[in-house]
Chains A and B, each alone.
Chain A
Amino acid sequence: MNMRIDGMGVVGGFGCGISDLAAGIEEGRRPAKFFPLSTVHGEIQVPMLLADTAVLSTMADRRTLRRIDHHTRMALLACLLAMEDAGISEPAAESLGIIVATGYGSTCNTFDIQELCPAADVRSFSPIQFSNSVHNAAGAHIASVLRSRGPNLSINQFDLSIPMAFLTAGHWLAEGRVDRVLVGGVDDFARIMAYHRHCRFSGRQGGDSSPAPAAVGEGSAFFLVSGHGGGQDEVGVAWAESGFSEAPKIPGADLCVIGADGFSPGEEAYGRCVSGPAACYAHLYGHLPVGMAFDVAAAVLSLRAGSVYASAGGGVPLPGGPELISETRPLASGQIHCLKIGAAGGYGRVVLEKR
């Protein structure tokens, strides 16, 4: 795969922008905070990793933002930050592709139909609510703001959406459909998953010393990618894949950033695939289907800096899993594998490299 990462933008519970992500990783932060959540059983306190998009009002026209919901705001902000990181203000309208990956989609909270409280009447929503609920709404708004008339794709393969998005971006560049692609993911905070986490883990016995699972999070990470120009010192995507066969064995010499968050099903598989050094940053960005996008961002930071960063908050509980790096150290290999075991089966992998 011949793809170079020219810029990246991130927003999530850790903050906004690469510097906040880098600081969170370097300092091993666990930024989740407790907030009240209303449920059918009354109010509960749950840890959350929420994204603040206030800065977007200084980067985009207020009229444009007026009818855009939080889901799209996160994605748009990440895209604009990726462009800024790449030093590009106005991409050529017809040569920029957009690929938005999402696990929950914009419907996640739009209609308030998550049964934490009596369900809302789904016949009484507004046209704007409905418009923003359609899965490609974020992609459409991003294209509109950037005036991009290139191909615009939205992918929803739950927690395996990110590798498919990178794979597709690589195909578009290889077939000459576009010169650049803004590719990334976005997911809202899912209240029902926060409730699910509360039910499963809030009553843990005192003798249970295993680290707590990651808080439920939200956010967006986007990457501006282009064809590899043959230059030196570039960070690129060497490979992206996904499938429902058994996950691949990761070469022992390479670092693997695993997408384990401590309560997604199937995480025991990481132990079978990873025999070398592993890192995990889920405590920084939280449990969300497109969390792998943040793993890719962390891998890019590592490759840019030549360092492997300690796992956030000591990592997550992984019975039989790989040993997680607990101290920052020099990066020994030029490749980093980001691996996600799918909650519904399957796996996804994105391999980053320094050229």
Chain B
Amino acid sequence: MKKPLAPVAITGMGCLCAAGLTVEACMDFLFKGERFPARPTRFPTDPGAGSPVFEVESGFWSPDRFHSFPRCRTVRLALTAAHEALAQAGLERDLLKKKRVGVCIGSNVAGSVSNPELFGPSESWDGGYPTSGRRFAAANPAVGLVREFDLNGPVETVVTACSAGTDAIGLGAAWIRMGLCDAVLVGGADELYEITYNGFISLMNSDEGPCRPFDVNRRGLNLGEGAAVMVLESEELLGERAGICRGRVLGYGAAGDAYHLTAPDPDGQGLRLAIEEALASSGIAPDALAFINAHGTGTTDNDRIESRVFDAVFPKIPFLSTKGYTGHTLGAAGAVEAVFSLGCLSVGQVPPSVGFADPDPELPAHPVSQTTPVTGSAALSETLAFGGNNAVLILGKGE
């Protein structure tokens, strides 16, 4: 990356997760410093073992808002977030049909054609096995958005595990810059899924209590679920309809660790490269950032790497983790946290990193532990994923 790229306007945002069912509700919740993790309710777990999770409250789905009726929870989450984002952007269905509108959504569960609920024969599938294409479409939030809003642009589901939501926003921004789309719905969506839940337990990466990002007693993550969708718009469309720019994607970077499937590179080299690319593409200097929204899962290795890299690259920039409020929403995490970052930029403060109480003396940098005023018009939001994927966004304040 040799020179900064053009910023891309964000005109609408929608978000739902355990912290709330709208962006406003989520932001209010974060600054209360509360959280309510509990045992999973939608699949069986071993009594006395496992990890608490952060589920979205059951009444989130309002079918009367939509033309389609998806059965898959992940699609419902994505539609709900997109509905809020489009309403905030002021983009009506009729206009969406006339413009070239793409969809780029990160997800983990949506990529699983092997989802047991969708795989077996059932009477609701006309008594036979559904074709694989129908199964995929039924579980895929990007296709769900296309069908609901009758969109005609490119469609991409990003499956880079925990960095998928971040990657989807960065890739969608390129579609605007390259002139491929007038608008793009970007973000991430993931429901809690039995395989993922048991998978993290098998990896011994789950905390049996509420997660404690960057704390000396951290034991692992808690899973969550949710969705966040942003509307990205070209300057032409924004000017044509006199829309409001509520934020900007200023930069994006991604790099691989090339190290290990489930453990981050101890030197954080991949993360550093992703940060370098994001900063270069944004033209923003490291010390100009207002704050960093860390990945901060609460796992031993992840938090150590991030703390070391922050200390080296951003020694004076405050950082936080919001995983304590939401759990790790996997493919949605990058998008949920990007929305939170823009919300914090807007109000000029960041919430405490709930779960962080006792600093780890081995870590050179520590997150904020109380509501903290921040100054500046840009923030960095990052995700570190399974497989060594690192993805970083630089986000700018809106009008």
> Hey, which bits of chain A sit against chain B, CB under 8 A?
93-94, 98, 102-105, 107-111, 113-115, 119, 122-123, 125-127, 130-137, 139-141, 143-144, 146-160, 164, 167-168, 171, 174-177, 190, 192-193, 195-196, 199, 241-245, 264-265, 289, 342-346
Cβ of A127 to closest chain B Cβ, rounded Å: 5
Give the CA-CA distance A28 to B5 in the complex, in Å: 48
Check A127 against B202 for contact (C-beta < 8 Å).
yes
Kindly list chain B residues whose C-beta atoms are within 8 Å of the C-beta of A107: 111-114, 195
Check B131 against A144 for contact (C-beta < 8 Å).
no
Check B155 against A346 for contact (C-beta < 8 Å).
yes
| 8 A Cβ contacts from B168-213 to A | 171, 174-175, 177-178, 180, 194-195, 198-199, 202-204
- Interface with A: B16-24, B221-229, B381-389, which one? B381-389
Q: Which residue of A lies closest to B177 (CB)?
A: A175
Interface size class on chain B is 35 or more
- Interface with A: B233-241, B251-259, B319-327, B339-347, which one? B251-259
B159 interfacial contact with A, CB 8 Å: yes
Give the CA-CA distance A242 to B180 in the complex, in Å: 11
> Hey, which bits of chain B sit against chain A, CB under 8 A?
1-2, 5, 46, 108, 110-114, 116, 119-121, 128-129, 131-134, 136-137, 140, 142-143, 146-147, 151-161, 167, 171, 174-175, 177-178, 180, 194-195, 198-199, 202-204, 254-262, 269-270, 273, 277, 385-389
Q: What would 20 more interface pairs be, CB under 8 Å, given A107-B113, A242-B154?
A: A102-B159, A103-B132, A107-B195, A110-B114, A111-B195, A114-B119, A123-B198, A127-B204, A130-B198, A133-B199, A135-B108, A137-B261, A140-B389, A146-B258, A147-B258, A154-B160, A168-B156, A171-B175, A265-B131, A346-B155
Check A136 against B152 for contact (C-beta < 8 Å).
no
Give the CA-CA distance A151 to B133 in the complex, in Å: 29
The 8 A-B pairs of least Cβ separation, nearest first, read: A343-B133, A140-B387, A344-B137, A130-B199, A135-B159, A156-B111, A115-B120, A245-B152
A–B complex contacts, Cβ < 8 Å, 21 sampled: A98-B256, A104-B132, A105-B159, A119-B116, A131-B203, A135-B112, A137-B261, A139-B389, A140-B256, A143-B387, A143-B388, A149-B256, A153-B160, A153-B254, A157-B156, A158-B136, A171-B174, A192-B132, A195-B129, A265-B131, A345-B143
Check A115 against B121 for contact (C-beta < 8 Å).
yes
Check B269 against A149 for contact (C-beta < 8 Å).
yes
Our pick among A131, A164, A190 for the contact of B155 (Cβ within 8 Å) is A164
Kindly name the residue among B134, B140, B157, B204 whose own CB sees the greatest number of chain A CB atoms within 10 A. B157
Kindly list chain A residues whose C-beta atoms are within 8 Å of the C-beta of B147: 244, 345
Query: How would you classify the secondary structure of chain B's contact residues: helix, strand, loop or mixed?
Result: mixed
Check B156 against A343 for contact (C-beta < 8 Å).
no
Our pick among A148, A167, A265 for the contact of B154 (Cβ within 8 Å) is A167
Cβ of B177 to closest chain A Cβ, rounded Å: 8
Our pick among A93, A119, A158, A177 for the contact of B258 (Cβ within 8 Å) is A93
Check A168 against B129 for contact (C-beta < 8 Å).
no
